[in-house]
Amino acid sequence: MIPMVFHFTFFRGAKDWKWTDIHTLALKSCLKHSGAERAVVHYDREDTGAAWDEARAFGSVEWRQRTFEASINGHPVTDQRLVHDMHRLRTLWEEGGWYCDLDFVFLKSFEILRHNSAVIGTQCKQKSKLNCALVGAVPGSAFIGAYLAKYQAWSPDLEKTFWIPANNWPWELSQQFHTQCTVLPRPAFYAVAWSNKSFWKGGKTCLRNAYAVHLWETLKPALCVEDLKKTVLEPHIRGLEGDFQTGVARLLPGLTLTWE
């Protein structure tokens, strides 16, 4: 089964990216709703601010400071997304669990999903796109191993077409490893499509089949929690406000509620 450990990356890099309240919300919603036993944040250096301090106070979060390599197989890489995804795949291969971007709002437990070798969500079926923003896998997953192997044919030109390893490669591999990779329909992780403009204005969006909602932070870099309160996510956001237990609640067999 897929370990109920959720990994995230916070890489400030040369652009000095800041930790925002959206990132804190992602951690908070993950700890409260996903069924996570613990979360791990892989980061390059400390930040400051209220949102950062709040996140650092959460229990059951391991903070792993590391240097993110700026090369893949000896080739210099300037696009940090590619470096992140390579780190994502290596971590899943070695440890298993779930690797997620920091712009998700988690809505319900992933427990039912962990009984697979690998899990990935559909971004656009018509365009044959999956999305590696949220991937789950057992350690040594054949799907993840094959995904890593694709990087062995690395070409510097790939930086110009980042979406190929992020979207097209996983689609191709999911066809090849269809018995070892479960592909979820778009509403599971991407109920809010990249092109959805009405969502941000409070338009109706069905979240009934959503385990988590991707917020497309690269599309809206100034996004904040107050913006989300203007959307159908508002009741979910309100439910996370106020005092927050720094341990993790888990529903175990026999319906025993435990705190860690």
Give pLDDT, residue 18: 95
Tokens of 17: 């990216």
Q: What is the pLDDT of residues 148-166, one digit of tens each?
A: 988 877 766 666 677 788 8
Tell me which residue has tokens 């159908």.
Answer: 232
Q: From the CA atom positions of the chain, what is the Rg in Å?
A: 18
Residue 72's pLDDT is: 73
pLDDT tier, 245 (very low <50, low <70, confident <90, very high otherwise): low
Give yes or no for a contact between 136 and 112, defined as CB atoms under 8 angstroms apart: no
**Residue indicated by tokens 């989300």:** 228
Q: Where in the chain are the domains? A: 5-259
Contact 58, 6 (CB under 8 A): no
pLDDT of 210 over the 90 cut: yes
**Residue 85, helix vs strand vs coil:** helix
Q: What is the pLDDT of residues 42-73, one digit of tens each?
A: 999 999 999 999 999 998 899 999 988 767 77
Give the closest residue to 6 by CA, choosing from 54, 49, 39, 55: 39
Q: Which ranges constitute the DSSP H helices of 96-247?
A: 142-150, 163, 169-176, 187-190, 225-228, 234-238
Bridge-based pairing state of the strands 256-259 and 249-252: antiparallel
Fold of 5-259: Spore Coat Polysaccharide Biosynthesis Protein SpsA; Chain A (3.90.550)
